[in-house]
Amino acid sequence: MSQIDRSLAEAARAWPFEEARKLVARCGGKAPAKGYVLFETGYGPSGLPHIGTFGEVVRTTMVRQAFQRLSDIPTRLFCFSDDMDGLRKVPDNVPNKEMLAQHLGKPLTAVPDPFSNEHPSFGAANNARLRAFLDSFGFEYEFQSATDWYKSGRFDKMLLAMLQHYNEVQAVMLPTLGAERQATYSIFLPVSPKTGRVLQVPVIQTDVEAGTIVYRDEDGTLTETPVTGGNVKLQWKADWAGRWFALAVDYEMYGKDLIPSAELSAKIVKILGGRPPEGFNYELFLDDQGKKISKSKGNGLSVEEWLRYAPPESLAYYMFQAPRRAKRLYFDVIPRAIDDYLSAVERLPGDEPAKQPDNPAWHIHDGDPVDHHSGGVSFGMLLNLASVAHTDDKDVLWQYLRRYVPGATPQNAPYLDQLLKGAVAYYQDFVKSTKQFRLPTDTERAALQDLADALRKIPDSESAEFIQNEVYEAGKRHFAKEELRQWFQTLYEVLLGSKQGPRMGAFIKLYGRDNVVKLIERALAGEDLGKAA
């Protein structure tokens, strides 16, 4: 972790530093009674980890890193799994559905593992997947299980406080419910000793001194049970508040749709005599139609799908950008995210110290500059290389890359190899079918012939910048100054079959001067550039 002057961190404008300053003010210059500042993210283990899980943890990590530059107070990050929640329905994407259906209503950690019997329960199996998911990205966190906290007694003090303030907490919750739900609602969900199910039943009586509640079990018998020791769990909004209170959470993020729930939970924490955490609400992602992404509908983009085409740092970059603005999260945002990330990484070492904490790459890599040895090659360039080379053979494309990045190989430049692999896959899946080449106009033909003649005279050793200037000069000889944009549009549409494209000097250097001349000659001859020569 690189060090920056604290005064620079205090002046940084990036949103993680703005959030971190809220925590510095909360602490008032000294550590909380527990000895550290606690960051938390929550997870419902009834399904597999998804892209929202990644976003919440990576953004929280960015705030934590910013806080560590502003304060010497120790920090911890808890990833808390609500694995004592009852299994409400059988998920669509798991095996052994009939077996799971026999355990509906039971805590997730009391439902058998439907996958392979490797784990003691469905909850444990999904918790293992969550930890493997987070570990694969190198996150620093501490996993916490709701079942462990309830059954070990670590929640007992909080649960007794809930019981003591039962009527006050109920009074906060009931106005948010419909009349029918109000009649049966209780913040306590007893776990039936007979069926093992988490019951949504009215509480008939509370006994603060005994620490118990009375309810009617599924068979109709009146049952008294302690609220401690894992005999009950809390309804989720009260549960969220109880967790904040018991753990003394200092910071937690949540989606915009949970703002009302967070406000309710904050009221409950205050009733219990605690202090709600600092909060940050982020906007939700939209699909390709501009509709809210739903995990159950599956209308979004999964982490696995993103990583098929792009490195994980590009996803972190996308999560960093404007978290309070609704953004489309679909396949077409991936190329831009990759190239913007690469630009940020390349820019970071040269940024003035005062500007480095505002660079997204600083937050993705915790202040440490990295060198991916990508040689300035963009994802967009690789997409266009795959297009004009008419091959999905990565080894063939590496022959072009070695021209642009001398000495680079898949072994000594693995990041570049990863980018190339992703670009080939992305081109085949999304770009190839959308290519639309057109024939040049008379003016464009003359300019293209001029460019071909100029390129023939350029030595192979010339730089991409020199070539870019020659491209520009060829355009100036045939297009008015205000029409030069059309010249580059011509190059993209005629040679690449696209409405937009890379910086042409860099692309010509990558693909090769002679190869581009041949491409121009084919276009002037009216050949279909969508097919191999």
Q: Is 146 helix (H, G, I), strand (E, B) or coil?
A: helix
Q: What is the 3-state secondary structure (H, E, C) of 274-317?
A: CCCCEEEEECCEECCCCCECCCCCCCCCCHHHHHHHCCHHHHHH
End-to-end CA distance of the chain, in Å? 51
Bridge partners, 75 (sequence order): 37
Q: Give pLDDT tens digits for 149-186.
A: 999 999 999 999 999 999 999 999 999 999 999 999 99
CA distance linking residue 210 with residue 227, whole number of Å = 10
Q: Is the CB of residue 166 less than 8 Å from the CB of residue 187? A: yes
Where do runs of H (alpha helix) occur along 102-194? 122-136, 146-152, 156-164, 166-173, 179-184
So what's the pLDDT on residue 533? 65
**pLDDT exceeds cutoff 80 at 532:** no
Whole-number percent of the chain with pLDDT over 90 = 83
Q: Are 112 and 103 in contact (CB under 8 A)?
A: yes
* Distance from C-alpha of 124 to C-alpha of 103, rounded to nearest angstrom: 15
Read off the pTM: 0.92
pLDDT band with cut points at 50, 70 and 90 for residue 298: low
Q: Give the tokens for residue 424.
A: 């080939």
Under a CB-based contact definition with an 8 Å cutoff, are residues 173 and 185 in contact? yes
| Single-letter code of the amino acid located at 425 | A
Q: Are 110 and 121 in contact (CB under 8 A)?
A: yes
What CA dihedral angle connects 423, 427, 428 and 434, to 10 degrees?
Answer: 170
Q: What is the token pair recorded at 15?
A: 């949103």
Beta bridge partners of 189: 233
∠476-481-487 over CA atoms, to 5°?
A: 60
Contacts of residue 306, Cβ cutoff 8 Å, sequence gap at least 6? 51, 314, 315, 334
Rounded distance between C-alpha atoms, residue 308 and residue 254, angstroms: 27
Dihedral of alpha carbons 41, 20, 263, 259, sign: negative
Strand partners, 188: 234
Cα–Cα distance for residue pair 474/428, rounded to 1 Å: 32
What is the C-alpha separation between 61 and 16, in angstroms, rounded?
9
Q: Are 19 and 278 in contact (CB under 8 A)?
A: yes
Confidence of residue 297 (pLDDT cuts 50, 70, 90): low
Side-chain-side CA neighbours of 271 within 13 Å: the count stands at 25
Give the HSE-up count for residue 452: Cα atoms under 13 Å, Cβ half-sphere. 17
With cut-offs at 50, 70 and 90, classify the pLDDT of residue 296.
low
Half-sphere exposure of 230 (CA within 13 A, CB side): 19
Q: How far apart are CA 35 and CA 37, in angstroms?
A: 7
Q: Which CATH superfamily is domain 6-165+237-282 in?
A: HUPs (3.40.50.620)
- Which one, of 195, 423, 170, lies nearest residue 314 by Cα? 423
Structure tokens at 290: 């501009």
Stretch 433-438: mean pLDDT: 92
Within 148-258, strands assigned E span 188-190, 203-207, 212-216, 222-226, 232-234, 251-255
Alpha-carbon distances of 153 from 78, 226, 239, 293, 408, rounded to whole Å: 18, 12, 15, 38, 58
pLDDT per position as a tens digit, 353-385: 999 999 999 999 999 989 998 888 999 999 999
Cβ neighbourhood burial of 102 (10 Å; 0-12, 13-18, 19+): exposed
Burial of 294 (0-12, 13-18, 19+ CB in 10 A): exposed
**Averaged confidence pLDDT in the chain:** 93
528 Cβ neighbours under 8 A, 6+ residues apart: 437
Query: Coil, strand or helix: which one is 62?
Result: helix
Convert the pLDDT of each residue in 91-134 to its tens digit: 887 899 999 999 999 999 999 999 888 899 999 999 999 999 99
11 CB-near residues (< 8 Å, 6+ apart): 354
- Out of 3.40.50.300, 1.10.10.350, 1.10.10.10, 2.40.50.140, the CATH code matching 442-524 is 1.10.10.350
- ∠ Cα 505 507 513 (to 5°): 75
Q: Which two tokens stand for residue 298?
A: 């599956």
Q: How far, CA to CA in Å, does 440 sit from each of 471, 494, 499? A: 16, 6, 14
Q: Is the pLDDT of residue 2 over 80?
A: no
CB 490 within 8 A of CB 510: no
Model pLDDT, residue 455: 96
Return the sign of the alpha-carbon dihedral for residues 138, 141, 142, 145.
negative
Tens digit of each residue's pLDDT (9 = 90 or more) over 241-289? 999 999 999 999 999 999 999 999 999 999 999 999 999 999 988 877 7
